[in-house]
Chain A
Amino acid sequence: MTKKQLPLILLLLFAQLFSSKLFSFTFNNNVTLAFNQKNVAVHLAQGFCQNLNLSDDQLMSLIEEAIDDYWNTVPTSKLILVIGQKKSLSSSYYSDPLCSSGTSNRCTPNVTIKVDNDIVVSCNTNSTNFPSPAILASSMPNNFSGNTIYGSLVLINDTASNGFKSRNREQQKAIIAHEIGHAIGLGHSPVKDSLMYYSDVNYRTRLGLDDIDGVTYLYPKEQPFSCNSSAAFFVDKNLNQQSSKKKIQQNLQAVKQSILANFFSFTLAVVIAIILRIVFNQTKLRLRARHSASY
């Protein structure tokens, strides 16, 4: 190490002292819940939103951007949210409360608006859900058993004086992404840089580290393959032979994929390295030739 390099190293160590780290996330009330499947669709209850100044197509586009700009960007999570369809649902989704009874701490989901599977986004005008225009949206997994979510409902405040319509597009996108965060099992975070902070902030374009850690905790990436779901052998005396065969085929498929993934990544790295080496050698030879020619 030379004297010239020492200040650079000291500067690096100094910069480390003033950087920060943050992670603090929570899950939905009462119990830690998560979807069991890797792909979860987000649908829209069509024809309900009257006071948002947005058509159904515009809302679908907003939802798609919300999932792609936020939750689908987490590198360490296996969860993939996909845009679903416009669904015709009963008017209860527009008028009913989210909880049939209980307080904000312990809510009993209203079974009349239970979502069978995946996530549904709907407009809603119920005054129990939205006692104030400042409450922009409300959501929760409303169909679950044990620790598994089967369906979640996101309600957007569609009352005449709702605060949602006065937000700009980026803020609206962040609000929908926040609610989808609840729908997939996350609770609030106490830090402002997190999307799961209880209030919207002036400028939000990405998740915070808390959000990344929270969704990673609930849906950890399982590369090269999953050990708990598709790649697990379930041996049950009551299972019929056909479903066992299907399971084994799925497992073999997962094993093949894992071997391919390992092989692919190592080979790709070696190929890139060899190409770089060839390029380097060519450059070196040219330089040497130029160097020799100068004598």
Chain B
Amino acid sequence: MKDFKIPKLSWPIWGLTLVFALWLKSSSAYNIQLSIGNLTEHFLKYQTDDRGTKNIFTFLPYGQLSIEYPFLKQHPILISAGSALPSKGRDSNITRWPYFFNISYKFVIAHEDTNSAWSFLAGSGIFVTKIWGPGGQANLNNGLSQSNYNLPSDPTYSRNMTLHFALQKMIHENIHLEGQIFVFNPIDHLNRSFTYGLNMTYHFGALFNDQTPPNNQITKPNIKPNKKVNPHD
């Protein structure tokens, strides 16, 4: 029996969205951003010792590359791809690699001091966890004596659709701090889960645009200060 698989539809959908975004604003795509930070997966979802301590923070460095498109005036779309480092735990045989793709809608929360503007992002994406190992067996206690247990071999990919929210705070002309959250299974109370990331992001500015706008044109809109109005005028 031959097994024909449907192409993974999720990739074309996100790919088309990307092409659509590029096509809309291909001449003015700007604000390339690179983030470095730490990801804590499945916050409070598992215990980290035999006393019942739940996971609050775990060390998982990650990087994220984002492109910001002025899809609507002052409300750009941010397309991001991020990846944690493939890492081994205490068992060096097993490797685990989380990575993700997001498309988010960005709201610049206006602030008179543009160097400290806040932004809020909301969108969705796909979070992938790849797990693999070299195969073979491990000799472990079975309760009575020792037994050989199988280790993972071929890679498997777990794909989760996630909701994505983030809050950004400009701390410098080209740098912002960001806290982001990925919501897994939002409508299932049993396996709903939150993965959060804290990162620092550098804005490289325009890469494709001849008329290079200032780096912070999108994230820091030019807002006029409140004008004092004389009611008698």
Contacts and interface: CB of A to CB of B under 8 A. Distances in A.
Interface string A67-111: 010001111110000000000000000000000000011000000
B67 interface: no
B150 A220 contact: no
Interface residues of A, number: 94
Contact of A188 (B89, B129, B141, B171): B141
Nearest to A26: B149
Nearest to B123: A269
A189 B90 CA distance: 11
Kindly name the residue among A19, A75, A207, A272 whose own CB sees the greatest number of chain B CB atoms within 10 A.
Answer: A75
A38 interface: no
B142 to A, nearest CB: 5
B126 interface: yes
Contacts of B151: 26-27
Interface string B168-188: 000110010100000011100
A193 B94 contact: no
Interface stretch (A44-52, A54-62, A115-123, A230-238): A230-238
Contacts of B161: 223-224, 261-262, 265
Interface stretch (B7-15, B25-33, B214-222): B7-15
Contacts of B50: 192-193, 197, 201-204
A240 interface: no
Interface in B1-20: 1-6, 8-10, 13
A269 B164 contact: yes
B38 interface: yes
A21 B51 contact: no
Interface residues of B, number: 89
Contact of A232 (B4, B52, B105): B4
Contact of A258 (B4, B9, B120): B9
A225 B9 contact: yes
Given A213-B96, A220-B156, A251 B6 contact: yes
Contacts of A198: 140-143
Given A25-B94, A265-B124, A105 B3 contact: no
A11 to B, nearest CB: 12
A9 B159 contact: no
Contact of A28 (B8, B55, B149, B229): B149
Nearest to A238: B1
A221 B5 contact: no
Contacts of B47: 193, 204-208
A168 interface: no
A233 B59 contact: no
Nearest to B126: A223
Contacts of A29: 147-150
A10 interface: no
A295 B38 CA distance: 46
Given A24-B94, A75-B184, A218-B156, 8 more contacts: A9-B200, A22-B90, A29-B147, A135-B144, A232-B6, A234-B3, A258-B10, A265-B124
Kindly list the 6 A-B residue pairs having the minimum CB-CB distance in the complex, ordered from nearest. A24-B91, A26-B149, A187-B149, A273-B122, A75-B193, A201-B50
25 contacts: A1-B175, A12-B198, A23-B91, A24-B89, A24-B93, A28-B150, A31-B150, A32-B150, A74-B191, A104-B142, A104-B145, A187-B140, A187-B147, A198-B140, A198-B141, A202-B50, A208-B48, A213-B94, A216-B156, A221-B159, A222-B158, A268-B124, A269-B165, A273-B120, A291-B226
